[in-house]
Structure 1
Amino acid sequence: MSTPNTPSRHTLEANYRRSRILNWVLSAVAVFLAVVVVAQMVEGSSAAEEPAAVTTDTGESGEPAQSAAGDMEFVRRDATDPKAIGNVDAPVVMTEWIDLRCPFCAAFSRDTLPGLIADYVDTGKVRIEFIDVAYFGEQSVDAAVAAQAAANQDRYVEYTTAIFGDAPEKGHADLTRDVLIDFAEQVGVPDIARFTADLDDPALEQKVRAGTQQAQQLGVTAVPFFVAGQTALSGAQPASTFREYLDEAVAAAG
């Protein structure tokens, strides 16, 4: 017999089943991404300072976790998402994990992304969704919080593009609080007072740290990191590599 403060057997069993399902989904995604990271990790990516261990348990099916539409579980497909560009119903969603202090993320943003937007995003073939991580110290955390603050006022893409456009070719950008505010002013964030207040929001900081931990658990131990369809790619590869990569993803999507 259960007391008022003791969960019933049925409640415990339900919680246990939910826990097993969640663990299977995370472990399935982790093994998939872990394999492709090992296979494709080359020069042109910045490694996380303290990458988390990655599980290799694939669950009963051994298949990577997918949504009903065939997208990986981290694909958002939200028409109001400020951290995305392109048609919400595009055949392919390419997810990019970025750190605003990563020089290779900046190189991709400056040198390769504009051409991909013109040929794949603007033509309706590909949607790009961005996920912020903080792999290079507290300034990376602060920068990711600032990116979310810009997203809160629908200036995320403009904000991150401006930071990457001004980044050094080598080493990590020095993104102090004053610099982060200056970039917000440059890209026309409407309410700078609100933006500045968001920089001190502990909920945004916790969101950044939780997102970083989740990325590491998925096997994203270096940035930039990409998943399009069910195939991953790591690093600021040549534009021709990305075109082949996206062509294959679009073809696979039918």
Structure 2
Amino acid sequence: MPSRPPIALTIAGSDSGGGAGIQADTKTMSAHGVFAASVLTAITAQNTTAVTAVQEVPADVVAAQIHAVLSDLDVRAIKLGMLSSAAIIEATADGLAGFAGPIVVDPVMIAKTGHALLHDSAVDAMTRRILPLATLLTPNLPEAARLVGDASAISPDEMADQAMRLLALGPRAVLMKGGHASGPTCTDVLVDASGVVATLRAPRLATRNTHGTGCTYSAAIAAQLALGENLPDAVTAAHHYLQGAIAAADRLNIGAGHGPVHHFHRWW
């Protein structure tokens, strides 16, 4: 009998260096046994050291891609990544209006190299149109701080407090990612309307090869949701996968800067 794997859709920008964005998402979903469909929102010229150019895809073409995929493919979960402009955000929100499955929103704002990937003028559109669609919002600490208009959280209690403030903007759950904090342990906090659902901890690994960690984490969660897992189990499985991908990152030795994590660390 033909195989019919579950399908997940990533709506994001490309990374010509292959470590983040659409490329990281499709690798991650494939590594979980999920068929990855994609909608391209922007083309970036980047590698492990810099983003040197960004070309946004016209909003009507983004809308056409979303319609093409959702009108034909049985998409079980969606991951949203780089949505750089208000027009692209509006087109994406309109295109997903009838989608009933889970949506994981990674509010991509700044690349690992420091290049801005979300226009300041688009933050309000992100808050109004995208956050209310989110089954799960997955900000890192600087992104969460920008969305709530505060300083970056330092402790798990502060992370939980900011997550509760983000819940008021519409997402059903928030995963605060602690990779930008300091200390020997990296702590992530999953929060929903009932409070803290899970606290996930892992040793902070000594590697500079962490390019694409946010994309990989959110794509892995979307893949797990497409496989039918509930949200806490999906986040836990994705967290475990990401730790393995970071631990194996130095085996790749890609580029001169922040190299990618190893998406296929379980196989080679």
TM-score range for the pair, normalised by the shorter chain length: under 0.3
Q: Give the alignment's TM-score, normalised by structure 1.
A: 0.28
Q: Name the structure with the higher strand share.
A: 2
User: Which structure is richer in relative contact order (CA contacts within 8 A, separation 6 or more)?
Assistant: 1
Give the structure with higher Rg (CA): 1
